[in-house]
Amino acid sequence: MSRTAVVALGGNAFTREDQQGTFAELAENARAMAETVHALRRAGWNVVIVHGNGPQVGNLAIQQEEGASVVPALPLSALGAMTQGQLGSLISISLRQTARAGEDIDVATIVTHVAVASDDPAFDDPRKPIGPFFHGDAVTEAVETRGWTMVEDSGRGHRRVVPSPKPQAILEAASIRTLADAGVVVVAAGGGGVPVVDEGNGLAGVDAVIDKDYAAQQLANQLGADALVLVTGVTNVMVDFGRPTQRALDEIGVDEVESHLADGQFPEGSMGPKVRAGIAFLRNGGSTVVVTTPEFAATALADDESSRIGTRIVADIVGAPAAEA
């Protein structure tokens, strides 16, 4: 019986820091990510892909503003839907291009809507970076002329930040489950999904960008997925990073990783959201979380312990001490 893995791919994997975000760059990066999906499928997994869109939706927002004198600019929620189609198409094409001869693959991209709370504190505290990096006078100009909220991002420059509310429900989860159970590779909740709120007389999109790791966790739990794969730029999650006592985490129980999180081991600007998403998946019925680079995603989920590479977080490790209350 096939197992289902929800795989979260970052928007930065499509547009890398040293790239401009041209279509050719996006397509080439998508082909590299497709190999991760093929490896999981060849290992017997059904795959649902969730991708980020921070660089792409921010770039699209700039195009909207620059063209507003010619055609009306669209709201951020609509731009999120547009990036779902854009990146979903690239993923679909790349999966077909990189399939082996005789390897059947069916791919479907679902424009996905995600319920959020209208009173989520994130609406008053924007923290999600989108778009390109700005430097020098361009930062001041963006604040004064565009009305953006700008923050410094990891020493690389300033970026626009927008609200990032927590996902409460993936509205198309039932359709996604039907496709995944049929062996279709599903691209869903792209860019975290289109955030919507219930206004009493119907749903309405809101200007925000949901974190793709939290959206992937929510979707994985609603699907009853067997694994949540959080793809990142490092092979393993580290504790005591940058210190003489630095060490990589291999297999670890959720109680222990939660203790490390409480000790401040995983900063919010880097590994924090992935670890929090992984804990939430496990606490809500999931069994396995993997955090590693694209090329080791399938290896980290291997049944053979001797061949595993990457960090694997599990709901319970037999014989491990329980975390203190």
The token pair at 197 is: 């709120």
Structure letter (DSSP) for residue 268: T
Buried b / exposed e over 218-247, threshold 16 CB at 10 Å, is bbbbbbebbbbbbbbeebbbbbebeeeeee
Q: 288 near 230, Cβ under 8 Å?
A: no
Residues forming the active site = 11-12, 128, 212, 274
The token pair at 239 is: 């504790």
Q: Which of 163, 174, 4 is nearest to 75 (CA)?
A: 163
Question: How does strand 194-198 pair with strand 203-205?
Answer: antiparallel
Q: How many CA atoms lie within 13 A of 254 on its CB side?
A: 18
Q: Which of 75, 57, 67 is nearest to 15 (CA)?
A: 57
Distance of CA 140 to the CA centre of its chain: 30
